[in-house]
């Protein structure tokens, strides 16, 4: 009975650890949101991103769509051990603190804060990235697929004041 009791104790500890881990993750995923294109466009416009540093909301929408599918809970694990989080896929090596990998934490936030529907902090971090030397080229998908293209289609059907510039700057 001694070995069986020890095994039960180990199983119970593992169960407790799993329950605590799930409880910590639950608030982040419960408040997650997959944005509709025009809803996200309006949030970006409200945050003053149309024309910010020469980029349009259409460009940001395009990038967010292909990076995360507009899903605030999206996480992409990278081969180097870092992860990219949230709607703009902000990397844990540079932008946020995952508590797992070393980080510069340039946006002064914990990565789990990027999982919720309240994306003002995500937008502020994205603004910081767009303002950096590499601009939108910080996102590999931008430089590979969208830079210099007509991205006005991303605003079609959205009732807003954003000007659908037909071309983005070439960074």
Catalytic site positions: 67
Task: Report CA-CA distances (Å) from 154 to 52, 64, 85, 91.
Answer: 17, 11, 22, 25
Using DSSP's 3-state secondary structure scheme, residue 108 falls into coil
* Cβ pair 110, 95 in contact under 8 A: no
102 and 108 Cβ atoms separated by less than 8 Å: no
Placement of tokens 């003053």 in the chain: 48
C-alpha radius of gyration, the chain, whole number: 20
């Amino acid at each position: 009975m001694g070995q069986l009791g020890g095994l039960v104790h180990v199983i119970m500890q593992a169960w407790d650890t799993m329950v605590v881990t799930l409880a910590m993750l639950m608030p982040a995923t419960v408040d997650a949101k997959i944005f509709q294109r025009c809803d996200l466009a309006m949030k970006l416009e409200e945050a003053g991103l149309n024309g910010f540093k020469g980029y349009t909301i259409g460009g940001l929408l395009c990038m967010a769509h292909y990076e995360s599918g507009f899903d605030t809970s999206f996480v992409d694990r990278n081969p180097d051990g870092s992860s990219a989080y949230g709607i703009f896929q902000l990397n844990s090596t540079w932008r946020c603190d995952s508590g797992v990998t070393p980080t510069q934490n340039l946006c002064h936030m914990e990565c789990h804060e990027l999982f919720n529907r309240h994306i003002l902090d995500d937008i502020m971090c994205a603004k910081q990235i767009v303002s950096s030397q590499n601009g939108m080229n910080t996102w590999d998908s931008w430089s590979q697929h969208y830079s210099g293209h007509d991205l006005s289609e991303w605003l079609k059907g959205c009732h807003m004041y954003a000007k659908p510039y037909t071309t983005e700057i070439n960074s």
